[in-house]
Structure 1
Amino acid sequence: MIRTFTFAALAIIAVVMGHLGGPRDEHPHKHHGDGPSFLANVSAEGKQEFEKVFKNKQLTLAEGEVQIEALAAKYGVSDIYKEFQAKRTARLAEVKKNQTEVIHNLSDVSAQLKTIYQNKNQTAAEQEKAVEALRKEHRVEVDTIKFIRAQFGEHKRHAGRPHGGSIRPLVLPKESHVGPTVGQENVDKKEESA
């Protein structure tokens, strides 16, 4: 169960924060117009050669990288390609740093959401406003938690409320070892009385 939770968290973080693929993922369909920026001054024939490498799913990442470097040299864009790769590497390092921070924050943000959802001394509008205020501060974390909740079957919202009435916080199965969550006490009591 923890593996599923971790995978779901990492998947949404990757989607929300940016694509983490290898150099072959930098193909023309992900950029405006003519492909990655280092291909701006490459002939149409050259771009086709690069695209063949980008789309070749039989190549390992290392093989693809070597072929792209060779093509960059062939078409005189090695310096621009190296600059492109340096920027990409820096961007990926930033994504990994942000990813680590988001994962670190998930437990705290989940606890804050739990507190908001447990507060019965507020209207549904106030509850939504509190969740939105938390989301403004921790957008990725709140979106990640909502994504994870959806994976565990939380109903989709209609007119601001889920099917069946109140907004419920995530309840993980007891064996998840994540610790008790809202509603877990009731699950434990039902198991004891059974």
Structure 2
Amino acid sequence: MAILKIARMGHPVLLKRAEDVADVSTPDVGLLIQDMMETLADAGGVGLAAPQVYVSKRLFLYSVPESRSEGEEDPPCGVQVLINPVLEPVGEELVPRLEGCLSIPGLRGEVPRYKRVRYAGYDHRGQPVEGVASGFLANVMQHEMDHLDGILYPMRMDDLGKLGFDTEITRYGVRT
């Protein structure tokens, strides 16, 4: 296993639609997942998409730390894998979410996200998975899915006045 380098905003791999994973059972996919898990743990993030480690494939990792759980509908979960994901909103309600990104270190911004999303895809063993996510989990899944579509969170922001450095956002909060 290895800690992979994380692509930063400005690299072309982050701005194009990733390709489907043709065969989930290949050793290359298993190794990529292991390396991404180690990279995510090292970086201290809650999600990581393959394009962020310079691999243009439709796969991402996600988690909900206990400190970020928002209740019964959004319980904590360890790192999970979603391959060839499909997400669709459940309803039209959007909520503002403060987001950061390992590919845009040091910044945070307020992004409108669907409150709930239905998801489907495959796990690390190639088994189908599906469900409905809400709260922090829905946010992480939408953020990581955007990476697979070549979208970075500032592209989703309604107001760039709500983009700032982590230290300043922590000190002063997001202006409303």
Fold match by TM threshold 0.5: no
TM-score (norm 2): 0.22
TM-score (norm 1): 0.20
